[in-house]
């Protein structure tokens, strides 16, 4: 196998393939048996070194154990020895191979469907259900003719791999990410099913503890969405009808919407033309005796200038709420987003930097009283069972979502690193090849998690169309500033920067598994 040779980097950048190993090639590799086992050993090595994903069906593992054990016994090992050796060798490869998801239903329904070979049918079905770019590694012809790519271990050359390695670019690739976090996601979901503690279960408490540690604050309160996090935070601060909350017009609707839902008035302050975040220099002139909070948004994954905002807030004794729905994991002068204000809110919407598999969110604070209030508001304003000193909402985070988020949190620090590298790579490529495109401006002392990689261009419609033609997805965040949304329409201060940006920004595909080859292609198309 030539993977070790010259093309490592190329290969690393194009690991969109999933090898699925048949039991026979694995048995040969584990027993150093036959003419071709070394090829399989090399392929396993490339999986171990994470150049490519390696998968097996769960029944492959049990049959493999039987095959290896029997072969060892035929080779004069006694029963106990052969069991020990077989399990040790299988455990070793299973430390880097992953098991295809499968439920009892798959095993049983396969009996109604297969024509030639039950096992073959089952593996084919599981592979087709779950893997986008599979190659079955087998010496056996039986897998052929099922619409899958089947290769003999000795066929796998660099050239073949690269030719097979065509993939679609996704705006956010949740499937690929899921395969990275397997099998912990599966294990955690199963635990919730076993325990049936669906509301406020142990996983919620565990997640809150880990997230508070991650961010570096005393309290994390898991809630039902990023939107509800904003609502609960403002309810805890007593914001109500007639109050004013200062915020940015250049954000997702939820920020302004929750202010309005409480009967308060969103006061929109224009954005900084470089960072696209609220301009701290324009906040003070918007403060009145009705101002009850400042609600800045750390847009696209970069924090707001919190030192300046906190200084103003302190002067006027008003709380600050960070909308950190897009910036979870970002840093500001060495501190984490969501640790910098009176209360901070984030979202676990699936496409956010830390996303669940449904709705979810969290509030963060160092303030004990506010934490207690938010916990009560989350459960109908209840302080003990069926006692309700105040009005609240049903705003809990599901145990199932918490379980999924716990599994995804394990890979999150690595994903933040990758996001940063991918963002920096885009910026380098664009600066070099597309002088007419303005990349995100990340300030000194800040790190972005690039919830979106958003560029500023003059000919947005044309570029979107060009990318669409070559199957590169893009999006606009956000085409209409909040002050112009019919639901929130206000006559506001001059909001010229927000106005201009809303007609010029577009976001490129961005997720931790985007490859440099894909990025180069995208930039070439933009050029
Ligand atoms: C996504 C988002 C929200 C809302 O989060 P949900 O979990 O979808 O309710 C709020 N503010 C901003 C800036 C967002 O990007």
Residue 423 and residue 264: Cα distance in Å, rounded?
A: 37
Q: What is the pLDDT of residue 85?
A: 97
At residue 291, the 3 state secondary structure works out as: strand
Instruction: Give the ligand 1 atom nearest the CA of 326.
Output: 15
Domains of the chain, start order = 5-167 (3.40.50.1010), 174-407 (3.40.640.10), 412-526 (3.90.1150.10)
Q: What is the pLDDT of residue 249?
A: 97
Q: What is the pLDDT of residue 159?
A: 77
- One digit per residue, the tens of pLDDT, for the chain of length 527 reads 333 433 444 444 456 889 999 999 999 999 999 999 999 999 999 999 888 899 999 999 999 999 999 999 999 999 999 999 999 999 999 999 999 999 989 988 888 887 778 888 899 999 999 999 999 999 988 888 788 999 999 988 777 777 777 778 999 999 999 999 998 999 999 999 999 999 999 999 999 999 999 999 999 999 999 999 999 999 999 999 999 999 999 999 999 999 999 999 999 999 999 999 999 999 999 999 999 999 999 999 999 999 999 999 999 999 999 999 999 999 999 999 999 999 999 999 999 999 999 999 999 999 999 999 999 999 999 999 999 999 999 999 999 999 999 999 999 999 999 999 999 999 999 999 999 999 999 999 999 999 999 999 999 999 999 999 999 999 999 999 999 999 997 766 689 999 999 999 999 999 999 999 899 999 999 98
**Residue closest by Cα to atom 1 of ligand 1:** 325
Query: 258: CA distance to ligand 1 center in Å?
Result: 11
Nearest partner of 226 among 338, 329, 349, judged by Cα: 349
Q: Is the pTM of this model over 0.85?
A: yes
Residue 144, both tokens: 């052929």
Residue 348 and residue 343: Cα distance in Å, rounded?
A: 17
Query: 227: CA distance to ligand 1 center in Å?
Result: 6
Q: What is the pLDDT of residue 424?
A: 97
Residue 262 and residue 241: Cα distance in Å, rounded?
A: 6
Residue 470, both tokens: 């070559």
Q: How far is CA 174 from CA 51, 355, 357, 502, in A?
A: 19, 9, 10, 27
Which residues surround ligand 1 with Cβ inside 6 Å?
225-227, 251-252, 254-255, 297, 323, 325-326, 347, 349, 359, 361
Q: What is the pLDDT of residue 195?
A: 97
426 Cβ contact list (under 8 Å, min separation 6)? 439, 453, 508, 519, 523
Q: What is the pLDDT of residue 11?
A: 42
**Residue closest by Cα to atom 3 of ligand 1:** 226
**Residue closest by Cα to atom 5 of ligand 1:** 226
Give the CA diameter of the chain. Answer: 89
450: left (phi over 0), alpha (psi -120 to 50) or beta: left
**Residue closest by Cα to atom 6 of ligand 1:** 226
Query: 359: CA distance to ligand 1 center in Å?
Result: 10
Q: What is the pLDDT of residue 3?
A: 39
151 Cβ contact list (under 8 Å, min separation 6)? 135, 136, 137, 138, 160
Query: 487: CA distance to ligand 1 center in Å?
Result: 17
Q: Which of 254, 355, 395 to mutate to test the pocket of ligand 1 (most atoms within 8 A of CB)?
A: 254
Query: 368: CA distance to ligand 1 center in Å?
Result: 25
Query: 360: CA distance to ligand 1 center in Å?
Result: 10
Instruction: Give the ligand 1 atom nearest the CA of 229.
Output: 9
pLDDT 10s digits, 326-379: 999 999 999 999 999 999 999 999 999 999 999 999 999 999 999 999 999 999
Query: 381: CA distance to ligand 1 center in Å?
Result: 23
284 Cβ contact list (under 8 Å, min separation 6)? 312
Peptide bond into 478 cis (omega under 30): yes
Instruction: Give the ligand 1 atom nearest the CA of 359.
Output: 7
**Residue closest by Cα to atom 7 of ligand 1:** 226
Query: 279: CA distance to ligand 1 center in Å?
Result: 20
Query: 252: CA distance to ligand 1 center in Å?
Result: 6
């Amino acid at each position: 196998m030539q993977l070790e040779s010259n093309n490592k980097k190329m290969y690393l950048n194009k690991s969109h393939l999933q090898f699925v190993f048949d039991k026979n090639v694995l048995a040969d590799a584990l027993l150093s048996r036959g003419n071709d086992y070394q090829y399989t050993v090399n392929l396993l090595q490339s999986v171990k070194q994470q150049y490519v994903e390696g998968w097996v069906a769960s029944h492959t593992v049990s049959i493999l154990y039987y095959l290896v054990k029997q072969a060892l016994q035929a080779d004069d090992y006694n029963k106990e020895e052969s069991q020990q050796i077989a399990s040790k060798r299988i455990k070793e490869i299973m430390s880097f191979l992953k098991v295809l998801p499968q439920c009892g239903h798959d095993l049983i329904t396969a009996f109604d469907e297969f024509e030639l070979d039950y096992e073959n049918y089952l593996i084919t079905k599981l592979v087709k259900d779950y893997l986008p770019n599979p190659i079955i590694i087998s010496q056996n012809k039986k897998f052929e003719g099922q619409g899958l790519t089947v290769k003999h271990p000795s066929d796998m050359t660099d050239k073949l791999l690269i030719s097979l390695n065509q993939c679609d670019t996704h705006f956010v690739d949740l499937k690929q990410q899921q395969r990275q976090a397997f099998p912990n996601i599966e294990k955690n979901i199963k635990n919730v099913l076993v325990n049936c503690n669906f509301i406020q279960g142990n996983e919620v408490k565990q997640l809150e503890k880990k997230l508070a540690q991650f961010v570096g604050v005393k309290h994390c309160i898991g809630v039902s969405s990023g939107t509800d996090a904003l609502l609960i935070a403002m309810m805890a601060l007593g914001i109500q009808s007639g109050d004013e909350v200062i915020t940015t017009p250049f954000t997702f609707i939820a920020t302004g919407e929750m202010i309005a839902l409480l009967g308060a008035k969103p006061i929109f302050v224009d954005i900084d033309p470089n960072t696209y975040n609220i301009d701290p220099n324009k906040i003070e002139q918007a403060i009145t005796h009705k101002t009850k909070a400042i609600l800045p948004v750390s847009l696209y994954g970069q924090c707001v200038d919190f030192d300046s905002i906190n200084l103003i807030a302190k002067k006027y004794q008003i709380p600050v709420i960070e909308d950190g729905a897009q910036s979870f994991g970002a840093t500001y002068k060495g501190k984490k987003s969501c640790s910098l204000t009176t209360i901070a809110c984030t979202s676990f919407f699936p496409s956010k930097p830390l996303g669940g598999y449904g709705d979810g969110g969290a509030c963060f604070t160092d303030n004990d009283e506010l934490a207690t209030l938010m916990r009560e508001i989350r459960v109908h304003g209840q302080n003990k069972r069926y006692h309700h000193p105040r009005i609240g909402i049903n705003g809990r985070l599901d145990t199932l979502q918490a379980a999924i988020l716990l599994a995804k949190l394990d890979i999150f620090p690595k994903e933040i690193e990758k996001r940063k590298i991918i963002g920096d790579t885009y910026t380098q490529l664009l600066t070099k090849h597309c002088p007419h495109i303005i990349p995100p401006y990340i300030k000194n002392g800040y790190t972005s998690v690039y919830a979106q990689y958003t560029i500023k261009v003059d000919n947005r419609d044309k570029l979107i169309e060009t990318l669409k033609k070559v199957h590169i997805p893009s999006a606009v965040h956000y085409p209409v500033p909040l002050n112009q949304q019919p639901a929130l329409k206000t006559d506001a201060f001059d909001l010229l920067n927000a106005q201009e940006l809303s007609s010029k920004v577009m976001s490129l595909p961005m997720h931790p598994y985007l490859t440099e080859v894909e990025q180069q292609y995208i930039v070439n198309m933009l050029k």
